[in-house]
Chains A and B, each alone.
Chain A
Amino acid sequence: MTAYDTVLNPTTGWILLALFGAGWIALGIYWGRKAKNLDGFMLAGRNVGLALGAATAMATWVTSNTIMLAPQFALQMGVWGMLAYSTASFGLFLFAPMAMRIRQLMPRGYTSGDFIRLRYGRAAWGVFLFISLVYSMAWLVSMAMAGGIVLKALAGIPYEYGMTVILMVCVVYTLFGGLYAVIGTDFIQSLIILAGIVGIGVVVLTRVEFGAVYQDLHTFQPALLNLLMPVALLSLFNNMFFGFGEVFHNNVWWSRAFAMRGKVPGRAFTLAGFLWFPIPIAAGFIALAAFTLGINITDSDMAGPTVAGQVLGPIGAMIVFIVVFCSLGSSIDSLLAATSDLVSEDIYKKMLRPAASEGHLRYINKGVIVGLGLLTWLICLPRPGNLIEVLFLSGPLVGSAIWPVVAGLFWRGANRTGALLAMILGSACGLLAYYLIGWFTASLIGSGVSMIVVFVSTWLAPQPFDWKTLNEHPTQKT
């Protein structure tokens, strides 16, 4: 495709991979010693403070997609594209008060699945678990694949090796340290990500002026500055609701709400939203400057790394390499931990072995982490081409879960059957919209249909709920 080779040589890539990989594993083992019981392993002792809480939320939300997809959005849809990606931070802002409510209603809770089961019953719980597991696997696989692809593009490390090493490192330190290790490494990773992206943005700004970028876009790609660009306008709301769905339903975020102490969740998620908001804008600007810098973008999903590598040379490529490794690590570890909690707590304990002891559950949890890592590796190995599309296809699914979660947290009369139908009909209509109109409408329509079903069912047949039911004792049978 391009007439030049990788910016970083493979030896440098391997050295960076080995250094950071060994570092994360060592830290995971070190922090893992704090996890004395199940609460410690799964929820970091429910005592996470503001700094660690905000850092873990921010770092988890900076995924490989943020580094790769935010510049792609900017290239494809211009100014609205950058803003559309940034709206994912609104999910963190709105989750802040929800996290406080979750902490208050479920002081002994473990997973988002617990909430749906206690609030709406087993049928809605089953649908919710299906949505959550499909989305989590799609996210996990897309990130592991992205890791392999980026390492190959930047340093020429073969895809299979890069993907395997990244996945293995995350599995090992999550296995040893549980959520303690995840949150601890997230803190360091968030600092590296912020410094790296701000650093690249500043250097790009010294090479090119805002005015010149604007003038070039105005002359050669005026549609990218058009505030009425149809697809961009639609993607703004679609991405916003995709983000709401991802954050509101997924156990990655619920486990953090359970893990933070006192009033920390509200402040931590708000702070994380503010820290995250400018990242896609900076990444998007880097991509929009490509034209003015005379850089040819051959693959839109590699715009960010391509520009950084060419503007900063090997140093830039090293920074991108480290930032991508950190963003992948901070998200893969969180997903491994939160999804293993969901499987061991909601499926194993609640469905198969309600009397399982704490020690036994911890053993199962570790087994699930290894199993998830192995399954992800097997799916990623042949490098299937359509998995990013699967992640986007999960947009309407998670969008349909927004209203059952929100209404369930704040409305005493939310209808149980309504919640179940909202997830099924919202998912179905959203998927139809995906194929009939376009990806940029799927999450919006999925959540819209879900909202109508929840509103109408609750209005027609409210079912009063006793909030105390949510404060389930861990040994209580279902």
Chain B
Amino acid sequence: MRRTIDYRKQQSSFLRIPSALAGLLLLGLTAATGETPAAGFTEPGDSPAAVGEGHLHLRWSAGEGDFPPPGWQFRLEQSPDPGFAGARTLYLGRDTGTFTSGLPSGSTYFRIRTEEKEGDLAGPWSGTLEVQVRFPEPWLVALLVAAGAGLALTLLLTIVLGTRRARRDDDEEGKAKTGVAG
């Protein structure tokens, strides 16, 4: 079970009883109505979302209250396939957002749902969020990297050679002064 934060451990005892009561009430309500809390993405707003650098913040909520009822959590899945073949769980827990990075060039797909922490009930999957990563063109990268290396080398040489020349000039000036004095 990866990237799970135990919400209950983080809460003070002051908050535990009301939360547990609220959870029981909500679970009772859920069982009575037969409904499960649905989750959806709130950020990025559009799909497909264009990302130029391979990383982004994802935000989601479980309706009005943002957080799912006690005893429930979010499951966020990521896949290179729109049908979510070979999907992996990116996050499992109660937070309403995550930061993901290292996305490859091209499209990556995300979906989210709520599910019981200890049980089989699960909400419906959200709509699929497509994130398109487009890195700068390789020729531009190669050109700028070469320029950066060249600039850095030129700067280094200018400072090193300038320092050596300044020392040499000082030495010559010193010798000239000594000669005049002598």
The chain A residues found within 8 Å of chain B, CB to CB, are 1-5, 75-78, 94, 97-98, 100-101, 104, 217, 220-224, 229-231, 233-234, 236-238, 240-241, 244, 291, 294-300, 303, 402, 406-407, 409-411, 437-438, 440-441, 444-445, 447-448, 451
Once bound together, how far apart are the Cα atoms of A440 and B54, in whole Å? Answer: 13
A234-B144 in contact given A1-B95, A402-B155, A437-B136 (Cβ < 8 Å): yes
Which among A97, A299, A444 is the interface contact of B99 at CB below 8 angstroms?
Answer: A299
B163 engages A300 (CB within 8 Å): no
Task: Write out the residue numbers on chain A whose beta carbons fall within 8 Å of the beta carbon of B11.
Answer: 4-5
B102 engages A223 (CB within 8 Å): yes
- Per DSSP, chain A at the interface is helix
B136 engages A296 (CB within 8 Å): no
Cβ of B141 < 8 Å from any Cβ of A? Answer: yes
Considering the complex, which residues of chain B in the window 98-143 have a beta carbon less than 8 Å from any beta carbon of chain A?
A: 98-99, 101-104, 135-136, 138, 140-141
**Which 3 interchain pairs have the tightest Cβ spacing?**
A410-B162, A237-B148, A221-B102
Task: Write out the residue numbers on chain A whose beta carbons fall within 8 Å of the beta carbon of B3.
Answer: 291, 294-296
B145 engages A233 (CB within 8 Å): yes
B31-56 to A contact mask, C-beta < 8 Å, 1/0 = 00000000000000000000011110
B1-43 to A contact mask, C-beta < 8 Å, 1/0 = 0111101001110000000000000000000000000000000
Task: Write out the residue numbers on chain B whose beta carbons fall within 8 Å of the beta carbon of A300.
Answer: 55, 57, 99, 101
Nearest Cβ on chain A to B61's Cβ, whole angstroms:
11
A75 engages B101 (CB within 8 Å): yes
Task: Write out the residue numbers on chain A whose beta carbons fall within 8 Å of the beta carbon of B138.
Answer: 230
Task: Write out the residue numbers on chain A whose beta carbons fall within 8 Å of the beta carbon of B91.
Answer: 296
Q: Number of residue pairs across A and B with beta carbons under 8 Å?
A: 154
Cβ of B176 < 8 Å from any Cβ of A? Answer: no
B155 engages A410 (CB within 8 Å): no
20 contacts between A and B (CB under 8 A): A2-B5, A5-B10, A97-B160, A104-B166, A220-B102, A223-B104, A229-B54, A230-B136, A231-B136, A236-B148, A237-B151, A294-B3, A296-B3, A296-B93, A297-B98, A298-B96, A298-B99, A299-B57, A411-B162, A448-B147
Task: Write out the residue numbers on chain A whose beta carbons fall within 8 Å of the beta carbon of B54.
Answer: 76, 223, 229, 231
Task: Write out the residue numbers on chain B whose beta carbons fall within 8 Å of the beta carbon of A409.
Answer: 162
Besides A2-B95, A78-B101, 13 new A-B residue pairs in contact (Cβ under 8 A), listed by A number: A3-B95, A5-B12, A76-B101, A77-B53, A231-B52, A237-B152, A238-B148, A294-B5, A296-B5, A300-B101, A410-B162, A444-B151, A447-B151
Cβ of B94 < 8 Å from any Cβ of A? Answer: yes
Q: What is the chain A residue whose CB lies nearest that of B151?
A: A448
Once bound together, how far apart are the Cα atoms of A403 and B99, in whole Å? Answer: 38
Nearest Cβ on chain B to A265's Cβ, whole angstroms:
12
A1-B144 in contact given A97-B163, A224-B101 (Cβ < 8 Å): no
Considering the complex, which residues of chain B in the window 63-116 have a beta carbon less than 8 Å from any beta carbon of chain A?
A: 67, 88, 91, 93-99, 101-104
Nearest Cβ on chain A to B181's Cβ, whole angstroms:
19
Task: Write out the residue numbers on chain B whose beta carbons fall within 8 Å of the beta carbon of A240.
Answer: 148, 152
Once bound together, how far apart are the Cα atoms of A402 and B54, in whole Å? Answer: 31
A234 engages B101 (CB within 8 Å): no
A294 engages B151 (CB within 8 Å): no
Nearest Cβ on chain A to B158's Cβ, whole angstroms:
6
Nearest Cβ on chain B to A395's Cβ, whole angstroms:
14
Once bound together, how far apart are the Cα atoms of A234 and B138, in whole Å? Answer: 11
Which among A244, A297, A299 is the interface contact of B155 at CB below 8 angstroms?
Answer: A244
A406 engages B147 (CB within 8 Å): no
B141-182 to A contact mask, C-beta < 8 Å, 1/0 = 100110111011011101111110110001000000000000
Task: Write out the residue numbers on chain A whose beta carbons fall within 8 Å of the beta carbon of B88.
Answer: 220
A3-B102 in contact given A244-B155, A410-B158, A444-B147 (Cβ < 8 Å): no
A296 engages B98 (CB within 8 Å): yes
Task: Write out the residue numbers on chain B whose beta carbons fall within 8 Å of the beta carbon of A447.
Answer: 151
Q: What is the chain B residue whose CB lies nearest that of A1?
A: B97
Task: Write out the residue numbers on chain B whose beta carbons fall within 8 Å of the beta carbon of A298.
Answer: 57, 95-99
Nearest Cβ on chain A to B71's Cβ, whole angstroms:
13
A230 engages B135 (CB within 8 Å): yes
Which among B59, B99, B144, B165 is the interface contact of A75 at CB below 8 angstroms?
Answer: B99
Which among A78, A94, A229 is the interface contact of B156 at CB below 8 angstroms?
Answer: A94
Which among B103, B160, B165 is the interface contact of A223 at CB below 8 angstroms?
Answer: B103
B55 engages A75 (CB within 8 Å): yes
Task: Write out the residue numbers on chain B whose beta carbons fall within 8 Å of the beta carbon of A402.
Answer: 155
Task: Write out the residue numbers on chain A whose beta carbons fall within 8 Å of the beta carbon of B147.
Answer: 237, 444, 448
Task: Write out the residue numbers on chain A whose beta carbons fall within 8 Å of the beta carbon of B145.
Answer: 233-234, 237
Q: What is the chain B residue whose CB lies nearest that of A437?
A: B136
Once bound together, how far apart are the Cα atoms of A406 and B166, in whole Å? Answer: 13
Once bound together, how far apart are the Cα atoms of A231 and B137, in whole Å? Answer: 10
Q: What is the chain A residue whose CB lies nearest that of B91?
A: A296
Nearest Cβ on chain B to A112's Cβ, whole angstroms:
16
Which among A4, A94, A231 is the interface contact of B5 at CB below 8 angstroms?
Answer: A4
A438-B10 in contact given A3-B93, A221-B102 (Cβ < 8 Å): no
Task: Write out the residue numbers on chain B whose beta carbons fall within 8 Å of the beta carbon of A230.
Answer: 135-136, 138, 141
Q: What is the chain B residue whose CB lies nearest that of A216?
A: B2
Once bound together, how far apart are the Cα atoms of A165 and B158, in whole Å? Answer: 44
Task: Write out the residue numbers on chain A whose beta carbons fall within 8 Å of the beta carbon of B101.
Answer: 75-78, 221, 223-224, 300
Task: Write out the residue numbers on chain B whose beta carbons fall within 8 Å of the beta carbon of A100.
Answer: 163
Q: What is the chain A residue whose CB lies nearest that of B138?
A: A230
Which among B67, B104, B151, B161 is the interface contact of A241 at CB below 8 angstroms?
Answer: B151
Task: Write out the residue numbers on chain B whose beta carbons fall within 8 Å of the beta carbon of A101.
Answer: 162-163, 166
Once bound together, how far apart are the Cα atoms of A294 and B3, in whole Å? Answer: 4
